[in-house]
Amino acid sequence: MAKSIKSTDLQTEMFSNDSEFLEADQRATTRKIRQDSVVAQHNDLIRARYDMSLLESRLFVCLLGRIDRKDKDFVLCRIPVSELYPDEKVGGKAYNQVREAVVRLSSRTIHVETRDEQGRREIISNPLMATCRYKEGSGYLIAQFNNFVKPYLLELQGNFTVAEIQTLLGFRSFYSYRLYWLLKSSAFHKDIIKVELSVLKKILNLEQRYQNFADFKRFVLDIAKHELSQTDMAFEYQQMKEGRAVSSLQFFLVRPAVITQSDVKLPEGTQQTLTEVGVSLKSLNDIKSRFEQGKLSEEYLRFVIKYYQHAKKSGRIKSLAGAIYKALMTDQLIQEFKVWQVEQPVYHSPQPSPKKASTEIIDLNVLEEQFKSIYAKGLSNHDSFEAYINWMLSQETYNMEMIDGKEVLIYTEPNNTN
């Protein structure tokens, strides 16, 4: 068993190739982050006093996102290191940061203060984690919440708050993360939230730091205000003074204009997917309008969603919702879509009247570049461009011809006379 006499010894033992890690690895589940992309906490935990690094808070969110609503106990989870760095590549420096985060998070204690029916205060201090392990080179962590925090995370029946995972992982400051949760836990009831400065600093575990309010404003409040301005908890704030000292803060939530959802129905399953990946209501209405006008086909809509979901998993894009929205509104992927389309089983929808056959001349160099793009993203069924061309030529609608001394591919649209 790993010893823990000194922190340096602990760090060495935790990352060694020992049997304990292998045993934990075998028990750990590969459960993915929740499909609905939201997580929940009891409000007592949101207002608890604790401190974390930004990386620790992301690990907390990734583990929180693996809780199923039906769970009665915490499970040991395997979390890819790449999830902790949603907007950047994982390198050697990142792994050193992860090792430090694992050591610190393993020792974090959550202090929850509550009152009973008689108004008597009770302080509950419990370790957050049951275990948190990382073996260098494995590419993932193994972690599990402590059973002491089950009342705050499992089978929540009331007095809890939900938030979107992607919003939480997007913060660059731990204090932005905490203030977002704090404001959201009160936002359901009011748009103006008053907090005593001493209480806020206690919750953030900053009682001994930033004694000068100007520093607290600069390093906590203003950074959080900037980061939250792009979320549903955008705010302005006002300092309330007693004498010359700031005693409390008033947060004024900046509510976006109310947007009603369009009645236009998108193809089955697509609206739910767009909502789950974070497409806003306004953007969803824009997509519905384009679909209603006939400028967006169902096939292209589904292709774009699948295309960028694959790109997100490969770490090639930062904002899945933004990439999908742009492609649907501008036909950004129309060339990739055409290449993908010819590889699919041919389906001809009923036509009101027969159409005259038309032909299209396809430049082989252009087609090869499009194929390489599709192949790199894992969306092609063929291993090489040559195999792809041979497959196309096996179809009745394609043939090769020489035009002006250059070999080109000719596509002839079928003349359906059903």
How crowded is residue 184: how many other Cβ atoms within 10 Å of its Cβ?
Answer: 21
Evaluate whether 56 touches 105 at the Cβ level (below 8 Å): yes
Show the tokens assigned to 310: 């694959």
Please give the pLDDT value at position 169.
87
Query: Which segments of the chain have a pLDDT < 70?
Result: 1-28, 35-36, 87-92, 189, 255-261, 344-357, 377, 414-418
- DSSP H or E segment with residue 166: helix 165-169
For domain 1-166, which CATH number applies: 3.30.450.20, 3.10.180.10, 2.60.120.10, 1.10.10.10? 1.10.10.10
φ, ψ at 295 (rounded to 5°): -90, -5
Its sign, for the CA torsion 152, 153, 159, 161, is: positive
CATH architecture of the domain formed by 171-256: Orthogonal Bundle (1.10)
* pLDDT of 28: 67
- Looking from the CA of 26 toward its CB, the CA atoms found within 13 Å total 4
Q: What is the per-residue pLDDT for 261?
A: 63
Q: Determine the pLDDT at residue 344.
A: 67
CA 140-145-151 angle, 5° bins: 150
Q: Which of 36, 37, 33, 41 is nearest to 182 (CA)?
A: 41
Report pLDDT digits (tens) over 44-81: 999 999 889 999 999 999 999 999 888 899 989 888 88
- Helix spans in 278-384 (H): 281-292, 298-313, 320-330, 334-342, 364-376
Which pLDDT belongs to residue 418? 46
Q: What is the pLDDT of residues 258-274, one digit of tens each?
A: 455 677 888 888 887 88
Q: Distance between CA 159 and CA 113 in Å, rounded?
A: 15
CB contact set of 342 (below 8 Å; sequence gap of 6+): 392
Give the pLDDT of residue 154.
92
Q: Is this structure's pTM higher than 0.85?
A: no
Tell me the C-alpha distance between 39 and 25, whole Å: 25
